[in-house]
Structures are given as structure tokens and as C-alpha cells.
């Protein structure tokens, strides 16, 4: 933290330059050409941990944290380089080229499969987040996972996740992105199911994987549509096609391609109605929840939309999909926030909170606020990871996830308490913490989208922006509300548990402190009108004429900022009133006086039930039974038939062996015996017979000789 | 007189003698057939001698030698037959089959 | 030489008669069921050879055949027949069963054909010119000048045969002495 403070003046000074020379982009350098190491190092170290981890002094942790630390260092260096002089670089290695008739003939005629690494503003931001948050979470996990039976394997899977995520964000083409996408999906399954002896954990892991898989199918379709109509899967090629204007085949298929890709993003970023897997994913260890299901993996969907942003922004392509995106994001934002109010499990509260914040990011993207959405992703990573790790610290001390077993923990765990509160305030969006700046920018962008120059007005939907704004502000209120509840139930009041909770070891609290520091300062790099480091940094990308699509706030939109802060403050105050002061009625706390709403929220709008009875059960019973019948009667028929054939063939071979082969052998023996018997008669002992034969032979020989002589003379 | 007629006659007698050697069961009769063969050879000898007009009469002298040797051979042969007869009380060559397998 | 030429020479007719007789006799030697008859037929065959020798002018050889062959060898055969109690009479089979006879006949006939064909093919029309009979004096001269070595060897052969015959045919000395006791 002190390092950052020391560098701040330097950064601020160079940032001024960077803003003016936005067109001056760095396109080469040794650090950039070597950036392929960023995803590769964790992937390689995963295998190292698998093979040699158990023998190492720290049982593999040193390799895991080393890989993340390497990425963090690299990411920090690139981040600062990018702030002073923007970077756009794409390195690649061609793996295969397939000649094909592309629908679009403006980009090449062959489908190229290549492995590459993008180094531009967007990717550098992701490297920074994954690396820094990853390192801190890995350090924390060393303490949290101490004594776990599958310690080494845990860190191997976690490093695999890190590598997969980096593959995803460094991908210069859709194919590699999908590879990384799937890798993190596998890692997520491995890690959620870490405690697989618990049936809930293993079924949650499968639920997460399958829900994502449904979305992935859409992602594949979308990627294929886009890739084939452009003739290439490379993002730069896609952006070039978009830059050349509508009329290309891409614009014909853009809408459906855009929808399909967005559905893929919905799966990974848990948007309504594919959000159901995230709360259940809390069955995994808390470090996993902190890193994957708060800061990084779930942000992959937002990243994808950001990467494809021109596709969704430029007129004539998939810009009409933004209606869908906004709708989905807004729905997610609000509905999931409400569920957080009725959860007893502290991790579930945070999970629904994450869903709600992801809704914010997606809504921002839909409204065309590229920078705002990404900025919120950036800040959210820090304070949400902080909150999860804090929750983990509490759970570790109390040995229970439920807030009904907690209470009054601020006396026992001061460091956890103070960092948690900082995180909660950041999440609620209290100035000057990080959440305020990012959430404010989202609100401002939504407002702009509804204004005269904005997107929605231009498309004829001025009412939409206003509606979304109202929902977003309401969401801010709800966020503050449930976080106050969580803090109060956990850290205040009487301790309702059994044991003697104590503060967690340093290895767990130091990352909390570090993340709290980030939560405080991370927002300061993009104060509207003062600094726009983040905007410029993230703005360094390949699509040149892109900046004009966005709205950049020249100064702080005071109106929105004020209303947002008021909403958050209201949430905190009302929450304080209910949960801090009124300590008597438990039911009042949880039901907050609206009995009808409570069961609906507790049952999570019956969506999980709908999935279960609508999808899972019909598949499980009729389909599974049908498949079983087919297997038993048709496939087994084939197998049994094969067995029968094999037996028959065996019998045939046996017969052949017995009769034919043995017969032949016996016959040869018989012939020999017979012949011998006959030939024996030659040795009759009768000399006259010998003489006859002798003479016959001689006569034949001589006759032959005579005839030969007669013929040749 | 053609030479060939003498030689053919000799060949015929010789073949008859061969037939007899291979066919007869009594040992003495076999020896008898051998005598026939030797006689045929004698005819050959003398016929050729007359044909070449040998000054030394080599063919005739050889015929004399053949006669002498034939006589010796008959003597020994009959002595052997006698011994066989003493051992087996029979002169049938059928019974002299100890060489058989 | 044509057939008429051949038939015109009287010696040929003599040869023909004697030859046929010899062949018949030889045939009976090997097929006669009676042992003594076989011996007598041999006598006839040997007599025929003597006649032929006379025809060819080999007088000494002819009379030697009569004296030695017919006079001594045949008598020896008769002795042999007597001592070995060869079955005299018609009942006993003197030749092998027909299977053996057929195969022997085939072989013998093949031999005959081979010899005859070779000779006829080679000599064709070569003739034995009738000439004066060989003088015994010349034979004696040749025998004791040119062929004296074979003569001496043959005499040793006869001696060996003589001794051999005695040794073979005598009874075992111990047996004899016991028999005498």
C-alpha cells in the first residue's frame, strides 16, 4: 500500500500525458512479446503441483502463490505502463490454417487457428485484478485450508483456474476465449466440489457446471455465427469488419449472434434466469467463493461483452441486443438483491449481493457505458473478495455459516470486523470508498443514456433509461439495507454460538487489510473531471474510432451522486433502526413486516423449484428410464449379439480344429502309418522279392538311359 | 546268320532264367535257373567270338572259364542248400524270411 | 538283309529249330511242376547250346558243355534234389503264388525287351560269316600263352570251391564223434 502511495504522484503526473496522447499507443516491446507467460506460467505450474506438490515443503502452495504473484507483478507493471503510455499489442502463434470459403471476403480466405496473447487496456486490467486479488486470496487460503486432506489438489485446481481465467482474458480470438471459458468451468466444478463427500457440495458443483453448459451451447453458436460470417475468429478482424460499416454478412446475422453470445455471458456471469448456480456454489471453500465467484470467473461474461463491445454498440450490428442486455441486467440487479435480505447463511447473502452487482455491470454494458461497467468490475473485485474473506474468517472462527450462530463478534475479531465494515461500506457505495465512484459512474451513464444525446432516446426508448435508473437507485438502497443487516447480525449483539471464537491468524488477516486498502483507494483513479486513468487505460484498445460511442463524464454528475448516496444512507439508517435497535423480535428482523413477500423470497421466487420440476425431474425420470430401457434392450442386444456371435465363432473354430485340423493331422499320421505298413511289406525277408525289385529298378534305369541315348543321337 | 539272332536267343534264355530265379520256391530250382542264365551268357560269348573272328578265340576261352566257375558255384550252392535243409528240414525259400521287419 | 536272304541260308533254319527248342526247354525249366522234369529240360537246353556252338564252329566248347555241364553239373543237381528231399510229384507247389509270378514275368519280359531292342538296334544286319571251325590246338595255345593267369586263377577257384563244399557239407566233428558213440 505504501508503495502505491509513493508511486501515486508519478502516476498522476504521467497520467496527464497519457490522456493527451491517447493516440500514441505502444505496440511492441520485450515485456509485451513475453506476455504469453501470463497464462502459461499458472497452467504449467498446475501440472507441477499435481506431480510434485506433495513433496514440497509447503505442499504445493508455494508454486500456486508463486504463479499468482508472478502474474500480479507482471500485471502491475503492465498496468502502470499502460497508464503512462497506452498499449495495444497482440502476439500470436499460428496453430493451424484451414482454407475455407468465408461468407465475408473482406478478411482473408482461410480460417486460422492460433494461440495468442492480447495486451491492451482491457486485458491489462484483468491481469491486474486476477493477479493481485488472486495472490491475496492464495495467501489467505494457506491459512484457511490448513489441515485439509486435499490441500495440494486444492491449490492445483485453484492454479488451474487462474491459468484458465488468464487464457480467457488474454485470448485474441473467440476460440481461445472459449478454451479459457471451459477451463474455468472445469476448475469451478473441481473447486465447488472440493468437499465432495457432502452430497450438497457435489450436486452444487454439477449444477454450476450444467447451468454454465447450457449457456455455453449458446456461446458456441454465437461464436460460430460471428466467426464464419466474418471469416475469422480474431477480435481485431471482427472489429475491422464492424469498422467497415454495415452491409457485410456479419450485420445480417449480427442480432442472433449477439443474442447467442450474450446468453453465453449470462451463464458465466449468473444473470437472471441462469443465476441459480451461484448461491449453491457457496458450498465450496470460502477462498474459492472469494476469487472465483466474486472477483474473477463470474466477471468473464462482462469481460466478453466488453471485448465484443463495438459489436453491441455500433449501429447496424448487434446494437438492438442491448435492449435484452439492459432488461436482463436490471432484472438481475433488483430481484437477487431482494433475496439477500432473507438469507441466514452469510455466504449466501454475499452470493446474492454478487449477483446483484453483476446485474449492475451488465446493465451498464447494455446502456453503452463501457468504462462504467468495467470500473465497477474492477472495484467490486476488491471489496467483494474482501467481504468473502472476512466471512470466511468469521466462519472459520465460529465453525458455522449461519448468522444465527454468530453475533457480537466485533469484540473477538477486531481486524475482521473493521475490514468487513470497510468492505460493506464500499459495497453500499459510500463516498469516498471505491464502490461509490464506480456505482456513481454507472448511474450517471444510465442517466446519460436517457438524455437527449443518449442511446435509448435515439432508439426511441427514453422511458427505459428512466425506469432503469429508478431500479438501479432502488438497488443501491437494497444493497445498503441487506449489508447493514449482515453486519449487525454478525458483529453486533450477543454471541449466540457455542465455542470461543478468536481472531484468525495473520496469514488470513493481512490479505483482509490489503484488500481493505484497495477498497479505499481503487476508486480514486477515475474521479470524473479529476483523473481518468482508468478510462484511458481501459480505452487503449484496437478499435480506433471507438471512443466516440461512449459518454465520458466531464465532471461529476452531482444529481445522480446525491440521489445514490441518499439511497445508500437511507438503507443503512433503516437497517440500523431495524436490526441494531430493535433486538427483541427475531421474526420482525427477518420478515420486516411483509409476510406475503417473505416466503416468495425465501423460496427464491420458486425459480429453483421451476428448474427442478420443469427440467431436472422430467429428464431424470422419463428420459433416464428411456435411456436405460434403450441401453438394456437395444444396446445390450447388440452386445449380447456380439457375445453370441463370438461363441458361435468359437464353436465353429472348435469344430474346424477338431474335425478339419485334427482330421488332417490324424490323416497324415494315418497315411504315414498305412504307408509304413505297406512299405514294411517290402522288407518281407524274401530275397526273391528283393531281387525282383532290384531288377525292375535296374531295367528301368537302363531303359531310360537307352531311350535317352536313342533320342539324342 | 545275323549276330542279332544269337544275341536275342541268349537274351530270351536269360530272361527265362531270371523269371525262374524270381519265381521258384525250391532252392535247388533257383540254382537251376541260374544255370540257365549262365548258359545264355555262354551263347553270347561264343556268338561274338564267331562274329569278330578272334584269332585268340577269346570268347570261347571265356566261355570255358564260365563253365568252370558255374560248376564251382553249383557245388558251393548245393552245399549251402544242404546246410539250410539240415537246419530247417525244408528247402523252401519261403521260410528263409528272417530279414523281414 | 531281307527275309528271303535269311531264309535262303540253311544254317538259319538249323538255328531256328534249335533255338525254338531251347526256348521251349528253358520255359519248361522255370515252370515245370516236377523237379526232375525241370532238370531234364535243362539238359535239353544245354544240349541246344552245344548244338549252337557246333553251328558257330566252337567244337571244343560244345563238347566241354556236354561233358562238364550235362555230365557233371546236372548230376550234381540230381544229387542235391535227392538229398534235400525235394518234393517229387505233382501235388506240391514249386513256384510262388500267381502274384509273384506276374510281377516277375513283367520284369523278366521288360529285361528281354530291353536287351533285344538294344542289340537289334545296334547290330541290325551284322552277320556271322561261316568260317572254319576253331582248332582246339589254337585254343590250347591261347589258353596257356595269353590266358594262363586266368587259367591258374580259375583252378584256384575250383580248389576253393572243392574245399568249401567239403567244409560246408560235413557234419560237426563233435556231433560226429558223439553220433559214433
Q: Could you report the per-residue pLDDT of B8-57, keeping only the tens digit for each?
A: 999 999 999 999 999 998 889 999 999 999 999 999 999 999 988 878 88
Report, as an integer, the average pLDDT of A431-444: 83
Q: Which of C96, C111, C114 sits opposite A706 (nearest CB)?
A: C114
Q: Tell me, what's the pLDDT at A125? A: 87
In this prediction, residue C178 has a pLDDT band, given cuts at 50, 70 and 90, of low
Q: What 3 state SS string does A507-572 have?
A: HHHHHHHHHHHHHHHHHHHHCCCCCCHHHHHHHCCCCHHHHHHCCCCCCCCHHHHHHHHHHHHHHH
Residues B86/B91/B93/B99 CA torsion (nearest 10 deg): -10
Q: Tell me, what's the pLDDT at A463? A: 76
Helix (H) or strand (E) holding A627, with range, is helix A624-629
The mean pLDDT of chain C is: 86
Q: Which of A683, A684, A688 sits opposite B22 (nearest CB)?
A: A688
In this prediction, residue A685 has a pLDDT band, given cuts at 50, 70 and 90, of confident
| CA of A669 vs chain C CAs: smallest distance (Å) | 29
In this prediction, residue A22 has a pLDDT band, given cuts at 50, 70 and 90, of very low
Show residues of chain C in contact with A703, CB under 8 Å. 110, 114
Of A118, A132, A103, A135, residue with least CA distance to A33: A118
The mean pLDDT of chain A is: 80
List pLDDT tens digits, range A185-233. Answer: 999 999 999 988 888 888 889 889 988 998 999 999 999 988 888 877 8
> Has residue A104 got a pLDDT over 50?
no
Q: Which of C73, C87, C168 sits opposite B70 (nearest CB)?
A: C73
Omega of the bond prior to A225 within 30 degrees of 0, cis? Answer: no
Lowest mean pLDDT among A410-419, A474-483, A487-496, A543-552: A543-552
Single pTM value for the model: 0.61
Report, as an integer, the average pLDDT of C82-96: 70
The mean pLDDT of chain B is: 90
List pLDDT tens digits, range A146-167. Answer: 888 889 999 999 999 999 999 9
State ipTM: 0.90
In this prediction, residue A369 has a pLDDT band, given cuts at 50, 70 and 90, of confident
Of A173-182, A653-662, B87-96, give the range with the top mean pLDDT.
Answer: A173-182
Q: Tell me, what's the pLDDT at A556? A: 66
List pLDDT tens digits, range A374-421. Answer: 889 999 999 999 999 999 999 888 888 888 778 778 888 888 889 999
> Do the chains contact at A703 and C104, CB–CB below 8 Å?
no
In this prediction, residue C93 has a pLDDT band, given cuts at 50, 70 and 90, of confident
Report, as an integer, the average pLDDT of C41-61: 94
In this prediction, residue A287 has a pLDDT band, given cuts at 50, 70 and 90, of very high
- The Cα A502–Cα A414 span in angstroms is 9
Residue A309 vs residue A624, higher pLDDT = A309
List pLDDT tens digits, range C147-164. Answer: 999 999 999 999 999 999
Q: Which chains touch C (3 or more CB pairs under 8 A)?
A: A, B
> Has residue A535 got a pLDDT over 80?
no
> Has residue A102 got a pLDDT over 50?
no
**φ/ψ bin of A640: left (φ > 0), alpha (ψ from -120 to 50), beta (otherwise):** alpha
Q: Which cell numbers hold the place of A475? A: 438497488
- The Cα C29–Cα B13 span in angstroms is 11
Q: Tell me, what's the pLDDT at A27? A: 66
> Do the chains contact at A688 and B93, CB–CB below 8 Å?
yes
List pLDDT tens digits, range C113-154. Answer: 999 998 988 887 777 776 778 888 989 999 999 899 999 999
> Has residue A591 got a pLDDT over 60?
no
How would you class B88 by CB atoms within 10 Å of its CB: exposed for 0-12, middle for 13-18, buried for 19 or more? exposed
In this prediction, residue A597 has a pLDDT band, given cuts at 50, 70 and 90, of low
In this prediction, residue A323 has a pLDDT band, given cuts at 50, 70 and 90, of confident
> Has residue B88 got a pLDDT over 50?
yes
- The Cα A227–Cα C23 span in angstroms is 116
List pLDDT tens digits, range A49-63. Answer: 999 888 888 888 889
Q: Are B84 and B91 in contact (CB under 8 A)?
A: yes
Q: Tell me, what's the pLDDT at C30? A: 93
| CA of C113 vs chain A CAs: smallest distance (Å) | 9
Q: Are A379 and A520 in contact (CB under 8 A)?
A: no
- The Cα A67–Cα A135 span in angstroms is 8
> Has residue A236 got a pLDDT over 50?
yes
How would you class A225 by CB atoms within 10 Å of its CB: exposed for 0-12, middle for 13-18, buried for 19 or more? buried
> Do the chains contact at C124 and B71, CB–CB below 8 Å?
no
| CA of B26 vs chain C CAs: smallest distance (Å) | 6
How would you class C166 by CB atoms within 10 Å of its CB: exposed for 0-12, middle for 13-18, buried for 19 or more? exposed
> Has residue A627 got a pLDDT over 60?
yes
> Has residue A11 got a pLDDT over 60?
no
Amino acid at each position: 500500500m505504501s508503495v502505491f502511495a509513493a508511486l501515486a504522484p508519478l502516476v498522476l503526473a504521467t497520467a496527464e500525458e497519457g490522456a493527451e496522447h491517447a493516440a500514441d499507443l505502444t505496440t511492441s516491446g520485450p515485456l509485451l512479446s513475453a506476455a504469453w507467460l501470463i497464462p502459461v506460467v499458472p497452467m504449467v505450474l498446475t501440472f507441477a503441483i499435481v506431480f510434485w506438490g506433495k513433496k514440497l515443503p509447503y505442499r504445493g502452495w508455494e508454486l500456486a502463490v508463486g504463479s499468482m504473484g508472478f502474474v500480479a507483478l507482471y500485471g502491475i507493471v503492465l498496468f502502470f505502463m499502460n497508464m503512462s503510455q497506452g498499449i495495444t499489442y497482440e502476439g500470436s502463434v499460428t496453430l493451424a490454417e484451414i482454407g475455407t470459403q468465408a461468407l465475408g471476403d473482406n478478411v482473408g480466405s482461410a480460417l486460422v487457428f492460433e494461440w495468442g496473447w492480447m495486451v491492451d487496456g482491457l486485458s491489462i486490467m484483468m491481469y491486474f485484478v486476477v493477479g493481485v486479488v488472486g495472490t491475496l486470496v492464495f495467501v489467505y487460503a494457506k491459512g484457511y485450508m490448513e489441515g485439509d486432506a486435499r490441500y495440494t489438489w486444492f491449490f492445483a485446481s485453484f492454479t488451474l483456474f487462474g491459468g484458465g481465467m488468464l487464457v480467457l482474458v488474454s485470448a485474441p480470438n473467440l476460440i481461445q476465449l472459449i478454451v479459457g471459458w471451459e477451463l474455468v468451468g472445469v476448475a469451478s466444478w473441481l473447486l465447488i466440489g472440493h468437499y465432495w463427500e457432502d452430497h450438497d457440495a457435489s450436486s452444487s458443483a454439477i449444477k454450476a457446471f450444467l447451468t454454465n453448459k447450457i449457456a455455453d451451447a449458446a456461446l458456441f453458436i454465437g461464436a460460430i455465427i460471428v466467426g464464419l460470417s466474418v471469416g475469422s475468429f480474431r477480435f481485431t478482424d471482427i472489429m475491422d469488419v464492424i469498422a467497415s460499416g454495415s452491409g457485410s454478412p456479419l450485420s445480417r446475422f449480427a442480432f442472433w449472434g449477439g443474442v447467442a453470445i450474450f446468453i453465453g455471458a449470462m451463464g458465466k456471469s449468473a444473470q437472471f434466469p441462469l443465476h441459480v448456480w451461484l448461491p449453491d456454489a457457496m458450498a465450496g471453500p470460502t477462498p474459492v467463493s472469494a476469487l472465483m465467484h466474486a472477483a474473477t470467473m463470474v466477471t468473464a461474461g462482462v469481460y466478453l461483452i466488453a471485448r465484443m463491445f463495438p459489436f453491441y454498440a455500433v449501429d447496424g450490428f448487434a446494437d438492438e441486443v442491448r435492449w435484452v442486455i439492459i432488461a436482463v441486467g436490471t432484472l438481475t440487479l433488483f430481484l437477487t438483491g431482494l433475496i439477500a435480505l432473507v438469507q441466514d447463511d452469510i455466504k449466501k447473502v454475499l452470493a446474492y449481493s454478487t449477483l446483484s452487482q453483476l446485474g449492475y455491470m451488465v446493465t451498464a454494458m447494455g446502456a453503452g457505458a463501457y468504462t462504467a461497467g468495467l470500473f465497477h468490475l474492477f472495484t467490486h473485485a476488491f471489496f467483494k473478495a474482501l467481504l468473502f474473506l472476512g466471512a470466511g474468517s468469521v466462519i472459520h472462527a465460529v465453525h458455522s455459516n449461519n448468522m444465527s450462530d454468530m453475533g457480537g463478534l466485533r469484540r473477538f475479531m477486531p481486524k475482521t470486523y473493521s475490514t468487513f465494515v470497510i468492505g460493506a461500506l464500499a459495497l453500499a457505495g459510500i463516498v469516498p470508498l471505491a464502490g461509490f465512484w464506480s456505482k456513481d459512474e454507472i448511474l450517471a451513464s444510465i442517466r446519460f443514456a436517457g438524455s437527449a444525446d443518449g442511446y435509448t432516446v435515439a432508439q426511441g426508448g427514453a422511458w427505459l433509461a428512466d425506469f432503469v435508473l429508478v431500479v438501479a437507485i432502488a438497488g443501491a438502497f437494497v444493497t445498503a439495507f441487506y449489508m447493514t443487516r449482515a453486519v449487525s447480525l454478525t458483529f453486533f449483539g450477543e454471541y449466540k454460538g457455542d465455542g470461543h471464537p478468536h481472531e484468525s491468524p495473520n496469514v488470513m488477516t493481512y490479505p483482509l487489510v490489503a484488500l481493505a486498502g484497495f477498497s479505499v483507494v481503487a476508486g480514486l483513479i477515475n474521479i470524473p473531471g479529476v483523473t481518468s486513468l482508468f478510462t484511458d487505460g481501459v480505452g487503449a484498445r484496437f478499435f480506433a474510432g471507438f471512443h466516440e460511442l461512449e459518454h465520458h463524464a466531464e465532471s461529476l454528475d452531482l444529481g445522480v451522486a446525491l440521489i445514490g448516496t441518499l439511497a445508500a444512507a437511507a438503507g443503512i439508517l433503516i437497517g440500523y433502526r431495524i436490526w441494531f435497535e430493535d433486538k427483541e423480535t427475531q421474526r420482525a428482523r427477518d420478515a420486516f413486516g411483509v409476510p406475503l413477500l417473505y416466503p416468495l423470497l425465501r423460496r427464491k421466487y420458486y425459480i429453483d423449484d421451476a428448474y427442478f420440476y420443469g427440467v431436472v425431474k422430467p429428464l431424470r425420470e422419463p428420459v433416464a428410464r428411456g435411456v436405460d430401457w434403450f441401453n438394456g434392450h437395444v444396446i445390450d442386444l447388440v452386445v449380447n449379439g456380439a457375445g453370441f456371435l463370438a461363441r458361435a465363432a468359437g464353436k465353429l473354430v472348435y469344430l474346424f480344429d477338431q474335425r478339419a485340423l485334427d482330421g488332417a493331422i490324424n490323416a497324415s499320421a494315418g497315411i504315414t502309418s498305412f504307408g509304413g505298413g505297406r512299405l514294411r511289406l517290402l522288407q518281407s525277408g524274401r530275397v526273391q522279392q528283393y531281387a525282383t525289385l532290384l531288377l525292375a529298378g535296374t531295367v528301368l534305369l537302363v531303359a531310360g538311359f537307352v531311350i535317352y541315348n536313342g533320342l539324342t543321337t | 546268320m545275323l549276330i542279332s539272332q544269337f544275341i536275342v536267343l541268349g537274351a530270351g534264355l536269360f530272361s527265362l532264367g531270371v523269371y525262374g530265379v524270381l519265381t521258384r520256391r525250391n532252392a535247388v530250382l533257383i540254382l537251376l535257373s541260374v544255370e540257365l542264365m549262365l548258359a545264355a551268357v555262354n551263347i553270347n560269348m561264343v556268338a561274338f567270338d564267331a562274329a569278330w573272328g578272334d584269332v585268340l578265340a577269346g570268347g570261347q576261352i571265356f566261355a570255358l572259364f564260365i563253365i568252370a566257375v558255374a560248376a564251382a558255384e553249383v557245388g558251393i550252392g548245393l552245399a549251402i542248400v544242404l546246410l539250410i535243409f539240415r537246419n530247417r528240414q525244408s528247402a523252401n525259400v519261403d521260410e528263409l524270411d528272417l530279414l523281414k521287419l | 538283309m531281307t527275309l528271303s536272304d535269311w531264309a535262303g541260308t540253311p544254317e538259319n533254319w538249323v538255328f531256328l529249330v534249335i533255338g525254338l527248342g531251347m526256348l521251349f526247354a528253358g520255359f519248361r525249366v522255370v515252370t515245370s511242376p516236377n523237379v526232375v522234369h525241370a532238370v531234364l529240360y535243362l539238359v535239353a537246353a544245354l544240349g541246344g547250346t552245344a548244338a549252337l556252338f557246333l553251328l558257330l564252329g566252337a567244337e571244343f566248347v560244345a563238347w566241354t558243355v556236354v561233358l562238364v555241364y550235362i555230365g557233371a553239373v546236372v548230376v550234381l543237381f540230381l544229387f542235391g534234389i535227392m538229398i534235400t528231399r525235394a518234393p517229387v510229384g505233382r501235388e506240391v507247389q514249386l513256384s510262388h503264388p500267381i502274384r509273384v509270378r506276374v510281377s516277375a514275368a513283367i520284369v523278366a519280359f521288360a529285361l528281354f525287351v530291353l536287351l533285344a531292342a538294344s542289340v537289334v538296334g545296334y547290330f541290325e544286319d551284322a552277320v556271322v560269316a561261316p568260317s572254319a571251325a576253331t582248332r582246339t590246338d589254337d585254343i590250347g595255345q591261347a589258353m596257356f600263352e595269353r590266358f594262363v593267369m586266368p587259367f591258374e586263377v580259375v583252378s584256384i577257384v575250383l580248389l576253393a570251391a572243392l574245399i568249401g563244399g567239403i567244409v560246408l557239407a560235413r557234419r560237426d566233428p563233435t556231433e560226429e564223434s558223439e553220433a559214433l558213440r
